[in-house]
């Protein structure tokens, strides 16, 4: 048990059984509770589980146990291990999904991570990605990047003639008049004024330097 | 064992039935045994375009429900001895009278006897469409150079691509008016083909004679001099696997004409 500026950090033994762990926490905290005056401010507790995996139910149990001693609040629970399912979920959100097809009218293509589409999005078709969207063909339908709230996400297309663009929770639609612009090699991003801007593709490296990073963010 | 080709478009009124009638007739002229199946139950037209309306006794629903055999329901087109038959749609029921499984079985049966089974699909993407596609091995999508028709064609192509038993669909662009395309008032062929990204089977110029012929119950293909007729015959030959070059659009009329004159003078 360590005291720091931000509260208590509990380093928990990862070799004993889960029941023993609960027992020990209870004993320690009951003893401790005597030492801390009941009217003192709330103390946040960080738990470090070491190499122990807690199921969500177990986590809840531990939180409840600690909450019983009045002025302790569990701030975070950390563990060196994650379940396979969680790891796969992370991977899914961080990987680039490559799809080679044409997204036609009435079709919706939804991926969790970044989308690399080799093909077109036709009018009435829709692509949605949790991360960025890169389209090697023409974007003539609807594209929504950063689905779920990521405002840093970008949309890039070889031909940028979308019906609608969405990034994070900002949506934008094409002007009602038709232009003769070629709209080749362009990207869309959210600027400081929280508006979707379409500009030359080459600007992306300055606007979103993170795109370059080889190891994907988790 | 023949091939079953569904002719579809999504949008109504772009010329599915006319195309079915003319391609069927053209294939029959080229010596193939062809059976046309009208799946537009409740709104049948194919019989009218072929001029066979008066000869219908049994229809598709009678066959499916076992009231008669397929052979009995087939209407023979006497103009092409033993080469062209029509299985007419029922006029008194609706699309739900037939299930996709029944259609599949029926088309399977027809394929045993005919070289080509052309299935005329109703407009829309509901039950009628599902029935028409169920037994098909190939698909031809008909569109016109209008934005709305191209949109619907795109949607239909998406649906067809999801059907595993159907080969990648091919495209026919109907009712092209070359002077409008030239003026930029109409979508041009390249634009449509690029947009839909499927193989182009042929283009058919807008021609009043098509309407006149349909009204008389004689498919335009029977008139060897009309532009549309030549285009349909070329498409039929492409279906047979011949490589008939597409004329470049700008000189569409001239190119098409001279080429076909050549073909006919050779004959």
Task: Report the CATH number that the domain containing residue A33 is assigned in CATH.
Answer: 3.30.70
Query: Do A208 and A117 belong to one domain?
Result: yes
Q: Output the known binding site of B for ATP.
A: 11-18
CATH classification of B3-266 is 3.40.50.300, yes or no?
Answer: yes
* Among A81, A104, A134, residue at a domain's last position: A81
Kindly state whether residue A33 falls inside one of the protein's structural domains: yes
A124 contacts in B (CB within 8 Å)?
151, 154-155
pLDDT of residue A48: 83
A105: nearest CB among B151, B161, B197: B151
Q: Positive or negative CA dihedral for B10, B12, B13, B19?
A: positive
Global pTM reads 0.79
Query: Residue A207 belongs to a domain with what CATH number?
Result: 2.160.20.70
Residue of A102, A123, A125 with shortest CB distance to B197: A102
A157 has pLDDT over 60: yes
Higher pLDDT among residues A70 and A148, named by residue? A148
From first to last of its 267 residues, chain B has per-residue pLDDT tens of 899 999 999 999 999 999 999 999 999 999 999 999 999 999 999 999 999 999 999 999 999 999 999 999 999 999 998 999 999 999 998 899 999 999 999 999 999 999 999 999 999 999 999 999 999 999 999 999 999 999 999 999 999 999 999 999 999 999 999 888 888 888 889 999 999 999 999 999 999 999 999 999 999 999 988 889 999 999 999 999 999 988 665 544 455 656 566 666 654
pLDDT at A141 over 50: yes
- pLDDT score, position B267: 46
Number of structural domains (chain A) is 2
A184-190 β-sheet, strand order: A96-100, A114-118, A133-139, A155-160, A184-190, A196-200
* End-of-domain residue from the set A59, A81, A103: A81
Our CA-based measurement puts residue B117 at a distance from the nearest CA of chain A, in whole angstroms, of 28
Q: What values do phi and psi take at A132, rounded to 5?
A: -85, 160
Question: Which of B10, B158, B185 is the best mutation test for A, with the most CBs of A within 10 A?
Answer: B158
Q: Are residues A167 and A145 in the same domain?
A: yes
- Write down the pLDDT at residue B252: 47
Q: Would you tell me how many other CB atoms lie within 10 Å of the CB of residue A116? A: 18
Same domain, A204 and A121: yes
* Contact (CB<8Å) A104/B154: yes
B154 with A124: Cβ contact below 8 A: yes
Do A130 and A68 reside in the same domain of the chain? no
Cβ atoms of B110 and B35 within 8 Å: the answer is yes
Residue A32 is predicted with a pLDDT of 64
User: Chain B contacts of A105, Cβ < 8 Å?
Assistant: 151-152, 154-155, 158
Chain B residues lying within 8 Å of A161, measured CB to CB: none
Do the Cβ atoms of A104 and B151 come within 8 Å?
no
Instruction: Check residues A86 and B38 and name the one with the higher pLDDT.
Output: B38
Convert B198-220 to b/e letters by CB count within 10 Å (16 or more is b): bebbbbbbbbeebeebbeeebbb
Asked if A100 has any chain B CB less than 8 Å from its own CB, the reply is no
- pLDDT band (50, 70, 90) for residue A42: confident
**Is there a single domain that holds both residue A102 and residue A163?**
yes
Whether residue A170 sits in one domain with residue A125 = yes
Task: Let me know whether A70 and A160 are in one domain.
Answer: no
Distance from A105 to chain B by nearest Cα, in Å? 5
Please report the residues numbered 123 through 152 in chain A whose beta carbons come closer than 8 angstroms to any beta carbon of chain B. Answer: 123-125, 140
Residue A217, in any domain of the structure? no
Residues A99, A54 within the same domain? no
Examine the fold and report which residue of A52, A81, A110 is the final residue of a domain before the chain moves on.
A81
Whether residue A114 is found in the same domain as residue A35: no
A186 touches chain B (CB under 8 A): no
Q: What residues of chain A lie within 8 A of the CB of B161, using their CB? A: 104
Q: Which of A71-85, A185-199, B135-149 has the lowest mean pLDDT?
A: A71-85
Say yes or no: A122 contacts chain B, CB-CB below 8 A: yes
- A77 token code pair: 């629970």
* More confident: A85 or A133: A133
CA distances, B238 to each of B134, B139, B257 (Å): 24, 14, 18
Q: Is A168 contained in some domain?
A: yes
Q: Are residues A31 and A137 in the same domain?
A: no
What's the order of all strands across the beta sheet hosting A43-48? Answer: A2-4, A7-11, A43-48, A72-78
Asked if the Cβ–Cβ distance from A105 to B197 is below 8 Å, we say no
Least confidently predicted of A20-29, A192-201, B160-169: A20-29
Residue A214's pLDDT is: 57
Return the domain boundaries, chain B: 3-266
For residues A50 and A125, state if they share a domain. no
Could you tell me which residues are beta bridge partners of residue B170?
B140, B199
Same-domain pairing of A98 and A154: yes
* CB-CB neighbors (< 8 A) of B146 in chain A: none
Residue A154 domain boundaries: 88-212
């Amino acid at each position: 048990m360590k005291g720091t500026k931000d509260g208590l950090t509990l380093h928990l033994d990862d070799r004993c059984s889960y029941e023993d762990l609960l027992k020990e926490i209870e004993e320690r905290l009951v003893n401790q509770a005597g030492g801390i005056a009941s009217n003192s401010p709330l103390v946040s507790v960080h738990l470090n589980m070491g190499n122990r995996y807690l199921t969500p139910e177990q986590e809840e149990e531990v939180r409840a146990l600690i909450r019983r001693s009045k002025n302790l609040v569990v701030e975070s629970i950390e563990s060196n291990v994650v379940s396979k399912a969680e790891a796969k979920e992370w991977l899914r959100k961080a990987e680039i999904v490559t799809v080679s097809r044409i997204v036609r009218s009435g079709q919706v293509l939804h991926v969790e991570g970044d989308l690399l589409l080799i093909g077109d999005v036709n009018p009435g078709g829709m692509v949605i990605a949790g991360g960025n969207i890169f389209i090697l063909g023409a974007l003539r339908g609807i594209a929504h990047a950063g689905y779920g709230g990521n405002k840093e996400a970008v949309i890039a297309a070889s031909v940028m003639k979308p019906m609608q663009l969405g990034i994070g929770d900002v949506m934008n639609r094409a002007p009602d008049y038709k232009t003769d612009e070629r709209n080749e090699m362009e990207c869309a991003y959210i600027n400081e004024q929280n508006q979707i801007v379409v500009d030359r593709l080459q600007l992306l490296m300055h606007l979103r330097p993170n795109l370059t990073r080889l190891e994907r963010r988790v | 064992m023949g091939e079953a080709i569904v002719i579809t478009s999504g949008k109504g009124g772009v010329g599915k039935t006319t195309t079915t009638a003319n391609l069927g007739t053209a294939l029959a002229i080229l010596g193939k045994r062809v059976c046309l199946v009208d799946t537009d139950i409740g709104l049948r037209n194919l019989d009218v375009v072929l001029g066979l309306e008066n000869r219908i006794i049994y229809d598709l629903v009678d066959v499916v429900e076992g009231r008669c055999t397929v052979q009995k329901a087939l209407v023979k087109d006497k103009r092409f001895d033993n080469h062209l038959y029509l299985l007419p749609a029922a006029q008194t029921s609706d699309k739900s009278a037939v299930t996709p499984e029944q259609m599949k079985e029926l088309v399977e049966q027809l394929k045993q006897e005919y070289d080509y089974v052309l299935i005329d699909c109703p407009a829309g993407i509901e039950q009628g469409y599902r029935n028409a596609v169920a037994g098909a091995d190939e698909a031809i999508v008909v569109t016109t150079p209008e934005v709305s028709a191209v949109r619907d064609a795109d949607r239909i192509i998406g649906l067809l691509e999801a059907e595993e038993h159907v080969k990648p669909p091919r495209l026919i662009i109907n009712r092209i008016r070359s002077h409008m395309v030239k003026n930029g008032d109409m979508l041009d062929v390249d634009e449509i083909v690029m947009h839909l990204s499927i193989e182009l089977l042929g283009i058919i110029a807008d021609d009043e004679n098509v309407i006149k012929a349909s009204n008389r119950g004689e498919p335009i293909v029977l008139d060897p001099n009309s532009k549309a007729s030549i285009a349909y015959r070329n498409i039929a030959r492409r279906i047979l696997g011949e490589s008939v070059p597409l004329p470049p659009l700008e000189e569409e009329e001239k190119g098409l004409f001279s080429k076909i004159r050549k073909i006919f003078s050779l004959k």
